[in-house]
Each structure stands twice: as structure tokens, then as C-alpha cells.
Amino acid sequence: MDISHIHSLFLKCKSISIDTRKIESESLFVAIKGENFDANTFANEALQKGASYVIIDNDEYYIDQRTILVENSLIALQELAKFHRAYLKIPIIALTGSNGKTTTKELIHVVLSKKYKTKATKGNLNNHIGVPLTLLSFGSDTEIGIVEMGANHKKEIEFLCGLATPDFGYITNFGKAHLEGFGGVEGVIEGKSEMYNYLSEKDNLAFINLEDPIQVEKSKKLKSFTFGVNKADANVNITAVKANPFVSIEYNNLNISTHLIGLYNSNNINAALTIGKYFNVADLDIKDALESYIPENNRSQLLTRGTNEIILDAYNANPSSMAVAIANFIQLENPNKVMILGDMFELGEESDFEHKALISSLLKEETICYFIGAAFFANKMDKNNFFFYKTFDDFSNYLKENKMDNSIILIKGSRGMALERTLEFL
């Protein structure tokens, strides 16, 4: 496999794709096998739809000189991305974390885009396939690249850093996410810290939140640029933070009113501010960028349905993100509050404990709480404002007969629960 030759062909293409349903003309199609399909079978279709070249790893599907045969298509994609990253020689910022990494990535992107031609991970293409696709989306006109990295087991961040070779890194936090794959909270800390290990080896720079003791402890030997309340490198003087429900901050005598919900987003805003300051983006441009960003894809969106206001945060959930979302919701000044909470996935042996702990944390609250999913149902507790449903269908049947009106509603659960379906009944 001659990666330099494949790269020369890639540079002739306008884009790269692994899905013939989204194929573009003059693109490079990479046939990657899935659990239930062999993408090699789609190689001819990709060419018919306008792809310039296809990469395959099964010689049975060789078509003509437009076909690039390799031993393993996934490895070829990853090696091509690594080669392309070195070819571009641009600064790359990588970020990971248990919660908030996609929102933070988007905020950093809009801030830096005020001064630079910036490209970032689209959506959550942050794994062993998504990161290579992200790197290959960067072009010769890209001045700064932003790469989000997700992980559900150890050594994954290490591998992704090896592909992206970031010059800068930021870890949003270390929370109770993917406990099953990481083997507990200590495993999460160890796994996410693989980014610090990479940065340390290369003498590259980490952005550090001094309000997070784990970040402070794990970054002692790193070259760093810090932000926080006291003795920080960043000249970011935040004097006030409010959320009712949108977050607004007072920063260097500027008032910044965002479309982000929840005080927990203040750290994400602070990180984007800090990175913007590091790259010399003007204060007024930072303000304009943060105020113009509107979240989407079920991430802390504020919606109106009939007489109800809805905080839709149904993209994903873990014990850490649940705790801060609930704490923020409880402090809102509204007498008619309702929480619709779905099961948290990938918690392994900690699942019963974490679901029971979440329910217990709400025993003193009078807010109406609907708990959806088998894990919550298995740990249900009797309280007159608690309602448990084993499946979403059970809950939807209840909603068909019982309308909610004049309420502010928090909807949060793991991706597999797809709680955005609740909107159909509100």
C-alpha cells in the first residue's frame, strides 16, 4: 500500500465518503466492512454515482484502474488521514472529555472562525473512523483544525492522538461516562489522560481549567495555558454568570448573552473564551461568536410546544451530565416544572447503583419526575410525584391520555432512549 500514491489521487478528489447514500461527484469512496455488511459490494455503485476512485480490500470487487486495492480499507483510511495531516502542517486542537466536548468544540470553532479559516469535526464524528474523516476534510486553505475525540475504552485516545498529532489539547472534564468500557471512574481518568500523555511527549500545549482538580493534578508536567478564577494565564476576567434559562456572563466589562442552557455550560464558554484569547481573537469578535451560536441536535435546545417550554437535552446522558442538568433545572424560577429522564447506558456493573442514586437524589424535590427505561424501572421508588415506565411505548401511551400544559419540561436520557420522540406528544 503506497500511501503517498493514494494521497496524490485523494488530492484530485473533492471529498471522501464511506457511504454511497451520500456520495458526491469526484469523490474518493472507501469501502469499510461493517458488522452486518461488506461495503466492497458498493464499490461499483459509488463509481456509477460519480466517485473518481474507490478503495477496496476484496479483489473480487476490482473494477478498473479507478479501483485501489489494499489489504485493509479501514487501516488505509487511517493511514491516509495521518499522511494528509502531516502534509498540511497546520495547527490542530484536539479535545475530549466525559461531558460537553461537542458543545465546546462548536464554541471554539465559531470563536476561532472570526479570525481564521477554521474547520472542525462535524457532528460527533469522533471515533476511529470519524477522526480520519475529519482530518481528510481539512484542505489547503484550512488555517486551524479542531478535532473532537471520543472514547469508551482505554488506549482509544492514545490511538486517535497518533493519527491527529495535535499541537494543542483540552479535556473538558472527567465524569461517569462509559464506565463499562473503562472499568470505572479511575479508568475514565486514565483513558482521557492519554491526551495529556501525548502532549507531554511532544512538548505540546494543553489548555487547563484550574477549577477542575483532576485537570490540575494530571497536567503538572505539561506545558499549559490555564484559565479559572485565580492566577490563570488567560486574561479572562469573568465577574458574573447567570442562567435563567440561558447562560449570560460578564467578561472584561462585556455582557455576553448566549443561547446555551445551564450553568454547567459556563466552563465550556470559558474554554472557548480562553482559546480565543490565546489565538488573539478580539474581545468583541468573541462576544459576537458566542452570542450567535445556537445549539442543535437535541443538545440543550429550548423549544416551545403548545403552552410548554421544553429543554431538550436528549442527545446523551451519564451520571455526571444528568446531575448538572438536573441541578440547573431545579434552580429555574418556574412553579410548573416536569422532568422526563431516560435510562443511562454503558454503565456496566454500576448501572443499578447509579440509577438508584439519581432517583434518591430527587426524593426531597417536589418536581414531577417521569423515569423511562428498564434500569430506572428496576430501581423504582414510591413517591407521589414519581412515575416509572419500563418502555418508551408505555410512557407514550400515558401521554396520549394525559396532556401536559403550561410547564417547563426537561427531557434528558441516553442516545439509545431517543427521548426526542416525546415531542410528538407535547
**Reported confidence tier of residue 34, pLDDT bands at 50, 70, 90:** confident
82 in a structural domain = no
Note whether 111 and 226 are same-domain residues: yes
H or E element in which residue 358 lies: helix 351-361
Residue 240 confidence class, pLDDT cut points 50, 70, 90:
low
Alpha carbon distance 120, 297 (integer Å): 16
With respect to residue 84, please indicate whether it lies within any of the assigned structural domains: no
The residue range of the domain holding 421 is 301-425
pLDDT of 340 reads 97
Instruction: Encode pLDDT of 146-186 as tens digits.
Output: 999 998 878 999 999 999 999 999 999 887 666 666 677 78
Is-contact 87 139, C-beta < 8 A? no
Residue of 291 and 297 predicted with greater confidence: 291
My answer on whether 320 and 217 are in the same domain is: no
Query: How many CB atoms are located within 10 Å of the residue 115 CB?
Result: 17
Same domain for 161 and 285, yes or no, is yes
Burial class (CB in 10 A: 0-12, 13-18, 19+), 339: buried
Task: Give the residues across from 95 on adjacent strands.
Answer: 148, 170
**This prediction's pTM:** 0.85
Domain boundary among 30, 48, 73: 73
Task: Tell me how many domains the chain contains.
Answer: 3
Q: What gap in Å lies between CA 145 and CA 134, rounded to an integer?
A: 9
The CATH number for 37's domain is 3.40.1390.10
In a domain, 142, yes or no: yes
Q: Is the pLDDT of residue 231 over 80?
A: no
The stretch 333-362 carries a mean pLDDT of: 93
Q: Which of 183, 182, 13 is CA-nearest to residue 96?
A: 182
**Do residues 128 and 160 share a domain?**
yes
Ranking 43-57, 110-124, 209-223 by mean pLDDT, the lowest is 209-223
